[in-house]
């Protein structure tokens, strides 16, 4: 399990500086839902719909992150949201869960439970279970738009033996698919991960995320969550808009 988080740190990079974050949230149950998906996969649109419905039903304490993997990109349609970093994150999870291979759509809840992403029943049960498990970890962030396309995020947490992930989320998007398994379909996505940084302890500092060209800060948010080094369990999460 330690190798999973070490791999993520090395893959995504890390830096740290002192700061004074201004936004905080703790002591409530929560669920971080990581969806591994692709516009080139015909089985993925139902999973996108399931997580979109989940977000409508849970206005707080459920944090969806849509990771678009790239191993479908050479099979007829290149997903404009795909990134090999997301594929490597999924491969690290596959190793931790002792899976024979990666697949889409896949959902991982709070780092410890995985299943087929379109299985709404399993998703609802996993989320309900985790919402009943309060976290006492303090987690603070503050996100501001800076020069150019930079988003500066100040963060801090008292989580021990954990790393912190800070993700820039595009809240929604629609895309008309021209080729591949979903040819002719218009796909709707929510909470698409557009940039992510991962940091080891000490968990206090400043992260700089890159806002994609032609995307506005008010079309995005920042999700921040801590993950145990020993067992991959996600121990706290927070989401904030960008000032």
d(CA 242, CA 222): 7
Edge-to-edge strands, sheet with 204-210: 23-24, 139-145, 150-157, 204-210
d(CA 60, CA 240): 11
Q: Where does residue 100 rank: exposed (0-12), middle (13-18), buried (19+ CB within 10 A)?
A: exposed
**What is the pLDDT, as a whole number, of residue 110?**
98
**What is the pLDDT, as a whole number, of residue 232?**
94
Task: Tell me how crowded residue 24 is: count the other CB atoms within 10 A of its CB.
Answer: 14
**What is the pLDDT, as a whole number, of residue 200?**
87
Nearest Cα neighbor of 64 from 74, 54, 77, 49 is 54
What structural domains does the chain harbor? 2-240 (3.40.30.10)
Tokens, residue 217? 């800060």
DSSP conformation class of 73: T
**What is the pLDDT, as a whole number, of residue 11?**
44
**What is the pLDDT, as a whole number, of residue 7?**
45
Q: Where does residue 131 rank: exposed (0-12), middle (13-18), buried (19+ CB within 10 A)?
A: middle
Residues of the chain with pLDDT under 70: 1-27
pTM for the whole structure: 0.89
């Amino acid at each position: 399990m330690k190798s999973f988080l070490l791999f993520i740190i090395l893959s995504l990079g890390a830096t740290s500086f002192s700061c004074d974050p201004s936004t905080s949230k703790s002591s409530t149950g929560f669920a971080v839902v990581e969806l591994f998906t692709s516009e080139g996969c015909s089985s993925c649109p139902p999973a996108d719909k399931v997580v979109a419905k989940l977000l409508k039903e849970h206005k707080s304490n459920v944090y969806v992150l849509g990771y678009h993997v790239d191993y479908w990109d050479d099979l007829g349609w290149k997903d404009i949201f795909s990134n090999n970093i997301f594929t490597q994150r999924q491969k690290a999870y596959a190793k931790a869960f002792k899976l024979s291979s990666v697949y889409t759509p896949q959902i991982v809840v709070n780092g410890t439970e995985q299943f087929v992403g379109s299985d709404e029943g399993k998703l609802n049960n996993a989320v309900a279970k985790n919402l009943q498990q309060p976290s006492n970890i303090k987690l603070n962030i503050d996100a501001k738009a800076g020069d150019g396309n930079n988003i500066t995020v100040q963060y801090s947490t008292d989580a021990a033996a954990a790393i912190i992930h800070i993700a820039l989320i595009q809240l929604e998007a629609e895309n008309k698919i021209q080729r591949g398994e979903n040819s002719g379909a218009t796909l709707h996505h929510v909470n698409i991960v557009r940039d992510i940084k991962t940091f080891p302890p000490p968990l206090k500092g400043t992260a700089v995320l890159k806002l994609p060209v032609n995307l506005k800060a008010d079309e995005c948010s920042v999700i921040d969550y801590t993950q145990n080094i020993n067992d991959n369990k996600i121990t706290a999460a927070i989401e904030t808009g960008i000032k």
